[in-house]
Amino acid sequence: MEKTVSASDRPEQPGRRRVLGFLVGSGVMASFVSFVYPILSFVLPPQSGELDADTVAAKVNELAANSAKIFRMGNRPGILVRTADGDYRAFSAVCTHLNCTVQYRQREHDIWCACHNGVYNLQGAVVSGPPPKPLEQFEVHARGQDLVVTRESRT
């Protein structure tokens, strides 16, 4: 007589179950991390340590009067303006409206955001357009032949 084998008659294979459980758990965890990490990277601000460092924005005689240049300050752009009077001003070049990069307009002597026509004066204050706040202003110092930009809040 032939005997049928039921599931309860089979020998237990705990090692195999443990391996399968580990693989399934690892897959679920990897999926969760790959889903959450980009969201957290977008929502949380980047480390600001780099922004606190001195940044060489230009050489002393690099900019003519009434001109400007975009420089990299940490992981963000900054804008160094040499006014028509020869003074230097430095700001974050990130528009406070929706984060477009601003530019200097020589004819108007102002800082302009092309995205939505936001205008800032050379103190960084909003003149017109949608930006809700002034541009963050930085200090500019000459150090040898370099123009060094630092955050004003640093003491």
Quick check: 105 and 94 in contact, CB under 8 A?
Answer: no
Task: Work out how close the CB of 79 gets to ligand FES at its nearest, in angstroms, rounded to a whole number.
Answer: 13
Please state whether beta strands 76-82 and 137-143 pair in parallel, antiparallel, or not at all (unpaired): unpaired
Closer to ligand FES by CB, 73 or 93: give it: 93
Quick count: other Cβ atoms within 10 Å of Cβ 89?
A: 20
Burial profile 102-132: b = 16 or more Cβ within 10 angstroms, e = fewer: bebeeeeebbbbebeebbbebebebeeeebe
Task: Work out how close the CB of 76 gets to ligand FES at its nearest, in angstroms, rounded to a whole number.
Answer: 14
76 forms beta bridges with: 73
Report the site for ligand FES in 61-100 (rule: CB under 6 A): 95, 97-98, 100
Residue 131 binds to ligand FES (criterion: CB under 6 A) = yes
Q: Which stretch binds ligand FES (CB under 6 A): 46-54, 58-66, 70-78, 126-134?
A: 126-134
Quick check: 42 and 56 in contact, CB under 8 A?
Answer: no
Residue 115 binds to ligand FES (criterion: CB under 6 A) = yes
Residue 134 binds to ligand FES (criterion: CB under 6 A) = no
| Number of residues lying near ligand FES (CB under 6 A) | 11
In the complex, the residues that contact ligand FES under the rule CB under 6 A are 95, 97-98, 100, 113, 115-116, 118, 129-131
